[in-house]
Structure 1
Amino acid sequence: MPPQPQVANALQQEFSDWRLWAARLVVLSFAAASGLAIVGFTWLAEVALAAFFRLERAAWWAPLIWTPLLTAGIVWLTRRFAPGAAGSGIPQIIAVLEHESAAAQRPLFVSMKLSVAKLFLTAAGLLGGLALGREGPSVQIAAGIMRNARRWLPAQSQISENGLLMAGGAAGIAAAFNTPLGGVMFAIEELSRRPEQRRNGLLIGAIVLAGLMAVSVYGNNTYFGVIRVERFSFRMVAPALLVALLCGAAGGLFARALIAILSGRTTDRVSRLRGHAPIRFAACCGLLVALIGIVSQGASYGSGYAQTKAMIAGASESTHLAVLLRFVATWFTAASGVPGGLFAPSLSIGAGLGNSVATLMAYPNAPTLIALGMAAFLAAVTQAPLTAFIIVMEMVDGHELVLSLMACTLIASGLSRLISAPLYPALAELQLARLK
């Protein structure tokens, strides 16, 4: 039996070194600043998307000019001034945390400059109506802020820069989704491969604190509201399994196609255009996103949060064509090279697939399948099933769905692994190519 700790000795050790408490104060202060920065980023993104929809309502044809021009401009600015801000932002953090070659040149992947660039360039993408999310960029933004804490830590502090980056990245997810537990799981499942980082209570506390910053501003309310879930019955098994399999296959195909175009492994004309004329390719992608938006009557523009929320509330029904169009618009947006994430569009696509299954099988409780589809498609794209299930669980407040969500994410993620390599590690390898 291990000896019991002596309270007096424990307290003496805890308060004997001021540097320990100074380090804690610095880390928690920067965590709070990261959370507030993501809150501001969320506000700016919502304002930008609202401005685009005002333009689209005033002139339905305006996106045909505005979106390709803005997409080309964003890619030009990114490549010219902040190449490390391109894409999601999560691969950059994974590259730094897992590869010594990237760790030696961290400013190319994560810095305060890149955080500022990422914030405004992602918001500009939403101003153009592109089908992107702000959650992946939040990871890189918050990690860049947390990295600056290192210079303020006392000498000989035990907190590593990698630990700060891991905490900052996870804090970005926690604050962006208003889901502190989801941020912690994201740190464990996606960012942290080292046990000592997983066990660091201070860094876990920093992640939770950043999430609480969002809670303090937006309130402790779930984004998508409460889902009324029926009691489990065997008639739910077949629709839920179909949702998991459909989302797993679609998410795996999405990830495989995205890796192929971004890596330039294919030799078709599209890949050659992207490689030799990236600005023109971005403009073409922007034009296609605008055309898709017109065909879908605006349903494919932006992150898709509003449409998903309306679907869950029963105020809107997504057609099968609308789901396909959002899938394609999201892929073109990601392929264009603009800074932007995949989490929110993945949730929207998954919600549409769940709603389609509910319609085809005449399932009476469509919101249940919508929630399962959200978690399953996100798990299939990211191949991070636990993160996907916890994020959706916290966002919809459907606690009766816990086991169903977990099962669907595991099935979808497993099927996706048969189709595609893990998306973010593959994109992290592409980021490392910049060092050669």
Structure 2
Amino acid sequence: MPPDPSSHDVRSAFHREFVSPELWRTRIVVVSTAALAGLVVVGFTWLAESAFGLFERITGLAWWLPLLWTPLCCGGIVWITRRYARGAGGSGIPQVMAALDPMLSGGRRPRLVSLRLSLAKIGLTSAGLLGGLSLGREGPSVQIAAGVMLTARRWLPKGSGVSAHSLLVAGGAAGIAAAFNTPLAGIMFAIEELSRTPEQRNSGLIVAGIVLAGLIAVSVYGNGTHFGVIHPGPIGLALLGPGLLVALASGCAGGLFARLLLTSLRGVSPDWPSRMRARYPVRFAVGCGLAVAALGALSGGATYGSGNETTRGLLENEAAIPGAFVLFKFAATWLTAWSGVPAGIFAPSLSIGAGLGHDIALLTGYPHGPALIALGMVGFLAAATQAPLTAFIIVMEMVDGHSMVLSLMACAVVASTVSRVLSPPLYGALAAIQLPPRPPRP
């Protein structure tokens, strides 16, 4: 006879939740590892920003130095990645998503996510910023934190109920939370992109680990927003026309960006560049690095690095960007990813979207530019990743955009919908490339 669901033994429940030593050990291991993952991402952030600061000092010596330095860095990074850490290439999010696939055998998971790959990702991504490549550190932070969290398995008691799937989800989301200083966005990223089979018993513990990693970043960087506080002006009917134009334009641009990335990184096209990339990957990377440096020189240095400073300047009405900034940053980010270096696209996507919103504000004469810039940020990020809820919460937390909640949410949904017409989900398609071919159905 099945147990009565209305009955509840308080004494047994109390013993299970507060007295069991195995449960407390599980909690301590998961929470401690989450805190360590947050600290590692914070250290990675410092290293990456210091590396780009050094690159800026190099460019300050002579504008032409990146034409030599950036190609050498790009080629060297690809050579090291392919020889010693193949699993560290690219964004890092597709690797974590592939590692979560139930069809993947345990022996293949360390090729995608591990502590060794996390350490390699930290060094190689920082080297990319030292070379001035157009990349972000947020995607790599997902793989880095997931690799740290996965090491907790060796200390968990048997029968803890915390699976590798849960640790990977918690680690990946903790990486987003700590990298952006946005705990809510980390939780939404876990729900929208990573989690496929949530485990009810440990969901509270996993969320606690994600929040703790975000709080570690808050304790180091302070409780301020990443891009300050936005001043969007009045939110009314006057915003409707320009805002809709931003949503449609960012959806088209982000969808084309995702399609271009997917086509390039699959490497199945018969064109000459794809054949060159497959046969001479290091030489191809040197060529990509030279093109990125040339775009940086043409833009006055605006396209180098993640683009965070440009985004912040646009939001504060203090940045002077070239007229073709969106096109230059779009191309530089695509070439960086195509070269094969470890590189994220979150921060560059925000920068491209900010430039697009800025251009539309000038085109339409809308007097409150920061509102359209924020909409461009959320629209392009939602379209490129096809994760509208994550994009909406990330931007809202980064600019303290609570007064624009409905506008940001609507823009993310519209842009993501437009993008789905143009391209399949980017990370899901890239994750499928990481997996072995599935057996044919009978």
Letter in 2 for 1:105: R
Write out aligned runs for 1:137-148 (5 A): 137-148=140-151
Q: 1:319, CA displacement in angstroms?
A: 3.5
> Do 2:235 and 2:404's aligned partners in 1 also have CA atoms closer than 8 Å?
no
User: What count of residue pairs does the alignment treat as equivalent?
Assistant: 436
Letter in 2 for 1:292: L
Tell me which residue corresponds to 1:189: 192
> Do 1:188 and 1:198's aligned partners in 2 also have CA atoms closer than 8 Å?
no
Alignment match of 1:31 (pick from 30, 34, 38): 34
CA distance in 1, matches of 2:182, 2:326: 26
CA distance in 2, matches of 1:370, 1:182: 20
CA distance in 1, matches of 2:6, 2:278: 64
Letter in 1 for 2:209: A
Alignment match of 1:149 (pick from 124, 149, 152): 152
> Do 1:225 and 1:395's aligned partners in 2 also have CA atoms closer than 8 Å?
yes
CA distance in 2, matches of 1:143, 1:118: 12
Q: Does 1:175 align with 2:181?
A: no
Identity %: 60
> Do 2:288 and 2:336's aligned partners in 1 also have CA atoms closer than 8 Å?
yes
Write out aligned runs for 1:9-24 (5 A): 9-24=12-27
CA distance in 2, matches of 1:197, 1:264: 40
Alignment match of 1:80 (pick from 80, 83, 92): 83
Q: Deviations over 1:51-73 (max 9, x none)?
A: 00100011111101110011000
Q: 1:6, CA displacement in angstroms?
A: 6.2
Q: Does 1:326 align with 2:329?
A: yes
> Do 2:354 and 2:373's aligned partners in 1 also have CA atoms closer than 8 Å?
yes
Write out aligned runs for 1:129-278 (5 A): 129-196=132-199, 200-278=203-281
Write out aligned runs for 1:87-102 (5 A): 87-101=90-104
Tell me which residue corresponds to 2:415: 412
Q: 1:197, CA displacement in angstroms?
A: 6.2
Q: Deviations over 1:279-338 (max 9, x none)?
A: 110000000000000000000000000011011011113343011100100000000000
Tell me which residue corresponds to 1:358: 361
Tell me which residue corresponds to 1:61: 64
CA distance in 2, matches of 1:4, 1:405: 45
SS at match of 1:60: coil
CA distance in 2, matches of 1:252, 1:197: 34
Tell me which residue corresponds to 1:281: 284
What is the TM-score of this pair, normalised by structure 2? 0.96
Q: 1:3, CA displacement in angstroms?
A: 4.6
User: Where does structure 2 lack aligned partners over 5 or more consecutive residues?
Assistant: none
Letter in 2 for 1:337: G
CA distance in 1, matches of 2:436, 2:294: 33
Q: 1:350, CA displacement in angstroms?
A: 0.4
CA distance in 2, matches of 1:178, 1:389: 15
What is the TM-score of this pair, normalised by structure 1? 0.97
Q: Does 1:425 align with 2:441?
A: no
Q: 1:433, CA displacement in angstroms?
A: 5.0
CA distance in 2, matches of 1:389, 1:398: 10
Tell me which residue corresponds to 2:405: 402
Tell me which residue corresponds to 1:376: 379
348-357 or 423-432: bigger deviation: 423-432
Q: 1:198, CA displacement in angstroms?
A: 9.6
CA distance in 1, matches of 2:162, 2:419: 36
RMSD: 1.7
User: Where does structure 1 lack aligned partners over 5 or more consecutive residues?
Assistant: none
CA distance in 1, matches of 2:142, 2:107: 20
CA distance in 1, matches of 2:117, 2:438: 17
> Do 1:379 and 1:412's aligned partners in 2 also have CA atoms closer than 8 Å?
yes
Letter in 1 for 2:86: P
